[in-house]
Amino acid sequence: MNVKVITRHSPSNYGSLLQAIATVQIVEKLGHKCEIIDYQRSDERGLKGVLTQLGCKKGFGNPLKKLAYIAVRYPIEKYAQIRFDRMRKKYLNMTTRCSSHQDLEKLSADAYMTGSDQVWGTMMNGKYDSAYFLQFVGNRARKLAYSASFGKTKFNESTIADYKRMLSEYDKIAVRENSAVTLLHDWGLHNCIGQVLDPTLLLGKEEWKHLMVKDTDCNKYAGKKYILVYQIHNDPKLSEYAKRLASQVGYELLRVNPYFHQRIRGGKFICCPDLGEFLALIDNASCIVTDSFHGTCFSINFGKRFIEILPNNATGTRNQSILELTGLSHRILSDFNDYSLFDEGIDYDKVQGILKEEREKSIGVMKELLE
């Protein structure tokens, strides 16, 4: 079967790319042809993307302030975009570029799948995009969803009405968070077949290692004692905590991020490394401090000690969901003066047992979707 997947693969973000890679690998392992639909909204790329971000920010009414934001932000976004465009071409099976719903309507497949990540949340412009609800498909093929996420749990009545209409057209839906199962149930939708793992967790550490060995920079972190910060939200408390923790335990502090403005947040900064090096940084770290959902997933998958600092916004439910599922909610930091989690061990025999069971169930759900 020819399966085409639409997902949030295009942001300059490691988690977005890694989950897309994993989705393709799992679908192909099950004997199907799979491509990621290379849907990239023009208002989320380059200068237009920066202007879209600016339009959603408060406190930028002054024209000089706007110009200063653009002058600083555009080179940062452009550099990350170039790097991630190269990685997408290197690691992903993709269709030709689609920039509009009209482009999407020209595609053909036996089944279309909404993939993982916050596909059913708002885009950079603050609105949802019906393309991620497969509205371009019509009745010409099956409509499926695997590990889709809303990103939050509260919506206005108008949005709920739109979501119910669009989601009722799916043949089968599997979602990433337990909160999404509840939402769909509360909305009276009966095509949801349950909660599944994020695609990155369907591949074990050994399967991810093939990305690490491709990159010659991967071995340089082996044997080093360092704390790794992978931070995707603007939370000064996280940055300060990581610096104090590294000083307290006497380890080097490394920080990895696609955007070079984070170099001012402390630690040795590694800007936008290739995927292999990114994974090697996690694999060799003594401890990871993160607010990222996929930073959490890879810490768990690789059996690493980590400290979870929940995002200071409404998106933390996805982090909490995977921690609850694996019995690791106690890794959430509740006191920024508490460093005891660094020394507190994790029973990864138990965690890997849970992951193995959930992995088998989730792959079973993927099989059911594609039957």
Tens of pLDDT, residues 110-119: 999 999 988 9
User: Residue 28's pLDDT is what?
Assistant: 97
pLDDT in tens, 291-307: 999 999 999 999 999 99
Longest dimension (CA), the chain: 60
Asked whether this chain's domains 2-196 and 207-351 adopt the same fold, the reply is: yes
Helix 14-29 vs helix 63-91: angle between axes, to the nearest 10 degrees? 30
Structure tokens at 239: 């940055």
* Strand ranges across the sheet with 268-271: 268-271, 252-257, 226-230, 287-290, 306-308
* pLDDT exceeds cutoff 70 at 215: no
Predicted confidence band of residue 51 (pLDDT cuts 50, 70, 90): confident
| Region of poorest pLDDT, from 54-68, 137-151, 248-262 | 54-68
Predicted confidence band of residue 325 (pLDDT cuts 50, 70, 90): very high
**Residue 135 and residue 167: Cα distance in Å, rounded?**
10
Q: Domain residues of the chain, as ranges?
A: 2-196, 207-351
**Residue 276 and residue 216: Cα distance in Å, rounded?**
9
* pLDDT exceeds cutoff 80 at 184: yes
Amino acid at 14: Y
Beta strands in the chain (DSSP E): 2-6, 33-36, 111-114, 142-148, 172-175, 192-195, 226-230, 252-257, 268-271, 287-290, 306-308
**Residue 297 and residue 267: Cα distance in Å, rounded?**
23
**Residue 151 and residue 118: Cα distance in Å, rounded?**
5
**In 3D, which of 218, 221, 224 has the Cα closest to residue 277?**
218
| Region of poorest pLDDT, from 115-124, 163-172, 199-208, 288-297 | 115-124
Give me the percent of the chain exceeding a pLDDT of 90: 73
Predicted confidence band of residue 40 (pLDDT cuts 50, 70, 90): very high
**Residue 7 and residue 98: Cα distance in Å, rounded?**
13
Report if pTM > 0.85.
yes
* pLDDT exceeds cutoff 90 at 358: yes
User: Residue 217's pLDDT is what?
Assistant: 65
Per-residue pLDDT, averaged over 3-25, amounts to 95
Predicted confidence band of residue 259 (pLDDT cuts 50, 70, 90): confident
Give me the percent of the chain exceeding a pLDDT of 70: 98
Bridge partners (DSSP) of residue 260 are none
**Residue 180 and residue 191: Cα distance in Å, rounded?**
13
**In 3D, which of 23, 56, 5, 369 has the Cα closest to residue 191?**
369
Amino acid at 301: N
Predicted confidence band of residue 56 (pLDDT cuts 50, 70, 90): confident
DSSP helix, strand, coil percent of the chain (3-state; round to 5): 50, 15, 35
Per-residue pLDDT, averaged over 204-212, amounts to 86
**Residue 371 and residue 368: Cα distance in Å, rounded?**
5
User: Residue 321's pLDDT is what?
Assistant: 87
Listed in sequence order, the DSSP H helices in 92-177 are 101-105, 157-167
User: Taking the domain 207-351, which CATH number applies?
Assistant: 3.40.50.2000
**In 3D, which of 44, 201, 51, 53 has the Cα closest to residue 131?**
44
User: Residue 318's pLDDT is what?
Assistant: 83
* pLDDT exceeds cutoff 90 at 312: no
Amino acid at 269: F
User: Residue 262's pLDDT is what?
Assistant: 77
User: Residue 43's pLDDT is what?
Assistant: 85
**Residue 329 and residue 245: Cα distance in Å, rounded?**
20
Question: How far is CA 236 from its chain centroid?
Answer: 22
Structure tokens at 71: 């002058």
End-to-end CA gap in the chain:
9
CATH topology of domain 2-196: Rossmann fold (3.40.50)
User: Residue 212's pLDDT is what?
Assistant: 74
User: Residue 315's pLDDT is what?
Assistant: 63
**Residue 300 and residue 306: Cα distance in Å, rounded?**
8
Other C-beta atoms lying within 10 Å of the C-beta of residue 252: 13
* 34 touches 27 (CB < 8 A): yes
Bridge partners (DSSP) of residue 5 are 36, 113
User: Residue 314's pLDDT is what?
Assistant: 60
User: Residue 72's pLDDT is what?
Assistant: 86
Predicted confidence band of residue 216 (pLDDT cuts 50, 70, 90): low
**Residue 194 and residue 222: Cα distance in Å, rounded?**
39
Per-residue pLDDT, averaged over 326-354, amounts to 96
User: Residue 214's pLDDT is what?
Assistant: 62
* 77 touches 46 (CB < 8 A): yes
- Tell me the average pLDDT of the chain: 92
∠359-360-365 over CA atoms, to 5°? 95
| Region of poorest pLDDT, from 131-140, 154-163, 207-216, 329-338 | 207-216
User: Residue 261's pLDDT is what?
Assistant: 77
